[in-house]
Amino acid sequence: MTNLFDETRHYQPADPEIIALLGSTSKQAQMRHFKRSPSFYRLGRKIIYHGADLNAWAEASKVKIGSGNA
């Protein structure tokens, strides 16, 4: 498994890496509402994504293409 994110870092929704992966902060809010986002911490009104959780979410979302032997 390749890590896309630093496993020890905490990311915020406005970080450029997060916007590039998940989209705007309003899109991220929709993803959280519909339970489609990576795991996150809610500290008051602040949202925090942990790098390890982002990597796990990315790995779980990976699409595997079959071998083509139909």
Phi-psi map region of 62: left, alpha, beta (phi>0 left; psi -120 to 50 alpha): beta
pLDDT digits (tens, 9 = 90+) for 8-60: 999 999 999 999 999 999 999 999 999 999 999 999 999 999 999 999 999 99
Largest CA distance in the chain: 52
Q: Regarding predicted confidence, which is higher, 2 or 61?
A: 61
Give domain limits for the chain.
Answer: 12-60
> Which ranges of 1-70 would DSSP assign to H, the alpha helix?
16-22, 25-33, 51-60
User: What predicted TM-score, i.e. pTM, was given to this entire model?
Assistant: 0.84
- Helix/strand/coil for 64: coil
